[in-house]
Amino acid sequence: MRYYIISGERSGDMHAANLIKAIHKSDPAAQFRGMAGDYCQAAGMDLTTHYEEVAMMGFLEVVFGFRKVIKNLRLLQRDLLAFNPDVLILVDFGGFNMKMAAFAKKKGIPVHYYIPPKVWAWNQSRVYKIRAFTDKVYCILPFEEPFFKKFSIDATYVGNPLMDEIQNFQPHPFFHQKNELSYKPIIALLPGSRKQEVENMLLVMLDVVAMFPNAQFVVAGVSNIDQELYKPAEQKGIKVVFNQTYDLLHHAIAAVVTSGTATLETALFRVPQVVVYKTSYLSYLIGKRLVKIKYISLVNLIADREVVKELIQDAFNAKSII
């Protein structure tokens, strides 16, 4: 079979890569093409474009990057038709992927959505578009299946792929030596995997360091964004370890984590954390009006109570983190 996959960020790329590996076990001749990242490429997918071409955060940032997004949307639409897959598999990345779902449905291509948009959080009217444009939905949060079934959507809760990812993780036996770390207790700083996230989060996180002289702070870096973004940490003598987040969490005694998939990963490693998030002021105001949930971290959303502290926008400052 021929599979066209579209994922728009690092966590989705990781989950899509594991999906590719699983499909290959039952269908060794399967062909994969689409938009994703390094994980999917390593798993055998032919990339039309890298997700970094369209990765953005915040309402305002998306507006300013609109032409770039449209350019890549049209590129993928043309490529989808040329590849003529048996199925289009969309992974998270709701705004972009829903446009691809509508296009594919119109062209008669079956649409399966793995990790659907969080329509239960804001703008629930979008659920009708999911019903109209998808053939099957695979949920990774337990409360999503009954939510979608209320709207007559063929949805199945398949468990969270992070559980498999972490269960299969093998810690590096020489993590400290490899990264020239001391054996002081480690506090992990996870500023995110997108350019705008690191720009918005890292400097404030670094302001906390001086208050904990008996610990060593280590930044979880990702190699698919400009490494100059991590210069402020290096200038303060703070180690940045690239693409070793699970090893870092395995050793950490605490963490400051940008809201996203990493909050759940940190919790599954049983590391106490403070969850933080900041975007442009206008994006924040728009989001505050639209978002209809009590919490922003996956940990608190799943538990439906405040398990971890959340510091959003102006509350995200060094004093509050400390």
CATH of residue 303: 3.40.50.2000
Q: What digits encode the pLDDT tens for the residues 63-101?
A: 445 678 889 999 999 999 999 999 999 999 988 999 999
| Residues 121 and 257 grouped into a single domain | no
C-alpha 277/C-alpha 314 separation (Å) is 9
| Residues 157 and 8 grouped into a single domain | yes
Whether the predicted pLDDT of 220 surpasses 50: yes
pTM: 0.78
H helices present in 55-209, as ranges = 59-64, 66-83, 94-106, 127-133, 144-149, 161-167, 175-178, 195-206
C-alpha 161/C-alpha 17 separation (Å) is 11
Place of tokens 């992070």: 162
| Residues 195 and 316 grouped into a single domain | yes
| Residues 154 and 250 grouped into a single domain | no
| Residues 194 and 68 grouped into a single domain | no
Q: Report pLDDT for 50.
A: 94
C-alpha 307/C-alpha 301 separation (Å) is 9
Domain boundary, last residue among 114, 134, 166: 166
Whether the predicted pLDDT of 248 surpasses 50: yes
| Residues in Cβ contact with 82 at an 8 Å cutoff, skipping those fewer than 6 apart | none
Least confidently predicted of 10-19, 102-111, 149-158, 243-252: 10-19
| Residues in Cβ contact with 230 at an 8 Å cutoff, skipping those fewer than 6 apart | 198, 202, 219, 221, 240
CB of 110 closer than 8 Å to CB of 88: yes
Q: What digits encode the pLDDT tens for the residues 152-177?
A: 999 999 999 898 889 989 999 999 99
Domain boundary, last residue among 122, 144, 166: 166
17-33 average pLDDT score: 96
| Residues 95 and 12 grouped into a single domain | yes
Q: What angle do CA 113, 116, 118 make, to 5 degrees?
A: 165
C-alpha 309/C-alpha 3 separation (Å) is 40
Domain that holds residue 25: 2-166
| Residues 119 and 10 grouped into a single domain | yes
C-alpha 199/C-alpha 1 separation (Å) is 41
Q: What digits encode the pLDDT tens for the residues 103-145?
A: 999 999 999 999 999 888 777 788 999 999 999 999 999 889 9
| Residues 45 and 91 grouped into a single domain | yes
Domain total of the chain: 2
Q: Report pLDDT for 61.
A: 45
| Residues 131 and 209 grouped into a single domain | no
| Residues 133 and 216 grouped into a single domain | no
Domain boundary, last residue among 133, 166, 199: 166
Q: What is the CA radius of gyration of the chain?
A: 20
Q: What digits encode the pLDDT tens for the residues 264-305?
A: 999 999 999 999 998 766 665 666 666 667 888 999 998 989
| Residues 147 and 278 grouped into a single domain | no
pLDDT range class, residue 57, cuts 50, 70, 90: very low
Q: Report pLDDT for 224.
A: 83
| Residues 221 and 111 grouped into a single domain | no
